[in-house]
Amino acid sequence: MNENNSGLNILKEISAKKEEHEFYEAEVKGYIPGKTKFIIIMGTVMSGLGKGIVSSSIGKLLQINGYTVTPIKLEGYLNVDSGTLNPYRHGEVYVLDDGMECDMDLGTYERLLDTTLTGKNFTTNGQIYSSILQLERKGGFLGRDVQYIPHVTGEVKRRLRKLAMDSKADIVLIEVGGTVGDLENSVYIEALRELEYEEGKENVCNVALTFILEPKFLGEQKSKAGQLGLRSLMAMGIHPDVVACRCHNLVTEKVREKISIFSNVPMDRVISVHDVDSIYKIPALMKKANLDQEILSLLKLKPKTDFYLQQKELEKIEYYIKAIDNPKKEITIGITGKYTNIRDSYASIAKALEHSGAATNTKINIKWIETTEIEDGKLDIVDALKDENGNLIKGIIVPGGFGKRGVEGKIACVRFARENNIPYLGLCYGFQMAIIEFGRNVCKLEDAHTTEVSPNCKNPVVDILPEQKKIEGLGGNMRLGGRNIDVKENTITSKLYELDNDAVKNSIKQSKTQVRERFRHRFEFNPEYLEQFEKQGIVFSGKAPQHPIMQILELPEHKFFVGVQYHPEFTSKMLFPNPLFLGFVKACIE
């Protein structure tokens, strides 16, 4: 099917006649069918297999081939965004520069593709249905009963084409969250089936991620669950062009043959995506399977870059991998929190530490510390802060969070780090915990606390500022997304940001005295206590431009004691670790 007789042009011809028909297309002015290619990534069998990793790895290989790519994640839930989701249910809430609270896969895309995404790269059913209903109330569907097909599927396709137009990308990567069996994904799957019909087969590539079971009691790999998952996908009109097989070990040729026969996908496009110790090894794994060239061939494309340039880019990834695989040092860092049973709750922090570990040739072991156990007296703090060899850990991170559970345990960890000169990095809530600990134990402020936990405390050193109190709604009064920060010269923090000469590439450094980082919080340091804290030795080295809102604190006499009101983990990249994390890791090594 060529561009002139693609499904989309046929629909346009029918629409131009102004006759009654069953076709509906949400208009995207200026959109040219065939100019943008689409790669669709769907999961079968179960969720959590790593669709985001597979999708971003494919995108990385396409970048190496000279193509511009942009991803979009389609989520089935009815929430408008991920902001109110509990990390236990859906992992980390990732924040984009424009303030969109979204799925953690967007973080994988930004880190691996070295890009900055926006809210256009994330869609939920809640967003889709809200748009449809708003348009219906304005009379946008006069004379028609609004239905899933064609109106809801039309809105899904409109967003995909609008993203293609706005991003000017050569290829759009479309990841559908969850699995093919999820009822809430049925509209997305139907919309993507229609997309292939309208755009033409040469413009759409379907990638199915399936799971190969490997029960220990059998001692062999089983493909039946994967086959049944693929059958469900094909029954809904999506025929995979590529099948990526997730498994604990390298998928055997016998299993690949079974999947190939069952799905009508050639063996060259049935690849093993088995467990590795770093997601950054996946692109190399796919390159070895020649997957990028297979996909380009399906989309009738040729590499834009020559072999030499491709190798040069691959060598950057290989250099990073070698640094991980052959560390010269090894340290243990503790992350204190209340979601430590779910590692995905702190995925970006773990990745930021990995980036800094690779930059310093250091293997970083993470000890997850459940602060509720310290708070309840079930765990002695000294024992909690020891590594597996019985030595004190080399550094402590108190991550972001909300609510009162585990707060006193976190404050106890902050105090231990400060009094024992252990490197400390406080992130968002960790900044506030450091304020409370310092207020209580150094400034001697009785009942110093945050009004989030103790609304009637005597000394509200952390509070909602007056301008925020006027805003109603749980998410409305949040400080969200990328904000500029004025950094005081000749401070620890100003020197840390100078550590990374390539910070400009990372979109962090704005000027000599200003950086840009991402926020997600509601409570601030109460400026009424500013003078008392500074008299006792705290330096507030970063603040909001033109406002007395403190964003960074540090203790100059400490080995490393820095708290920030933002989330530097969101701006850390594979080859460009965030300067705060890099400085923290270096202090831990020393």
Write down the catalytic residue from 245, 413, 428, 457.
428
H or E element, residue 206: strand 204-211
Instruction: Identify which of 1-5, 368-372, 460-464 has the greatest average pLDDT.
Output: 460-464
* Cβ atoms 122, 72 nearer than 8 A: yes
Residues 129-162 have pLDDT tens digits of 999 999 999 998 888 889 999 999 999 999 999 9
Is the predicted pLDDT of residue 414 greater than 70, yes or no? Answer: yes
Which pLDDT belongs to residue 317?
Answer: 92
Torsion angle of C-alpha atoms 51, 55, 60, 62, degrees rounded to 10: 150
Radius of gyration over every alpha carbon of the chain, rounded to an integer in angstroms: 26
For residues 560 and 370, what is the distance between their CA atoms, to the nearest angstrom? Answer: 23
Q: Which of 282, 353, 270, 290 is nearest to 321 (CA)?
A: 282
Q: Which of 376, 415, 382, 355 is nearest to 561 (CA)?
A: 415
Same fold, 3-314 and 327-589: yes
CATH architecture of 3-314: 3-Layer(aba) Sandwich (3.40)
Percent of the chain with pLDDT strictly greater than 70? 91
The predicted pLDDT at position 22 comes to 64
| pTM of structure | 0.91
Confidence (pLDDT) at 93:
92
DSSP for residue 458: S
pLDDT of 463 above 80: yes
Angstrom distances, CA of residue 508 to CA of 359, 495, 567? 18, 14, 12
Question: Which residues are CB-neighbours of 333 under 8 A, at least 6 positions away?
Answer: 353, 364, 365, 366, 367, 393, 394, 395, 396, 397, 585, 588
Q: Is the pLDDT of residue 503 over 70?
A: no
Calculate mean pLDDT across residues 15-28.
Answer: 63
Question: What does the pLDDT read at residue 374?
Answer: 86
Region 388-416: mean pLDDT is 91
Going by pLDDT thresholds of 50, 70 and 90, the confidence category of residue 24 is low
Answer yes or no: is pLDDT of 16 > 70. no
- Residue 3: the pLDDT is 47
Which two structure tokens, joined as six digits, stand for 186?
Answer: 């049925």
Mean pLDDT, range 550-560, rounded to an integer: 96
φ, ψ of residue 313 in degrees (nearest 5): -70, -40
Q: What share of the chain is helix, strand, coil (3-state, %, to 5)?
A: 45, 20, 35
The reply to whether 428 belongs to the active site is: yes
- For the chain, give every domain's residue range: 3-314, 327-589
| pLDDT for the residue 379 | 81
pLDDT value at position 249? 94
Task: Give Cα 480 to chain centroid, integer Å.
Answer: 15
**Which H or E element spans position 94?**
strand 94-95
pLDDT of 1 > 50? The answer is no
pLDDT at 26 over 80: no
The C-alpha atoms of residue 40 and residue 71 are separated, in whole angstroms, by 10
CATH topology of domain 327-589: Rossmann fold (3.40.50)
Strands 514-521 and 479-487: antiparallel
Q: What string of DSSP letters covers 296-312? A: HHHTT---SS-HHHHHH
Q: Could you write out the three-class secondary structure of 11-67?
A: HHHHHHCCCCCCCCCCCCCCCCCCCCEEEEEEECCCCCCCHHHHHHHHHHHHHHCCC
Given a cut of 80, whether residue 403 has pLDDT beyond it is no
Side chain identity, residue 273: V
Say which of 25, 92, 110, 569 is annotated catalytic.
Answer: 569
Mean per-residue pLDDT over the chain, rounded = 90
pLDDT in tens, 158-210: 999 999 999 999 999 999 999 998 999 999 999 999 999 999 999 999 999 99
Please give the average per-residue pLDDT across 576-586, as a whole number.
Answer: 96
Q: What is the pLDDT of residues 267-285, one digit of tens each?
A: 999 999 999 988 999 999 9
Under the banding of pLDDT at 50, 70 and 90, the label for residue 13 is low
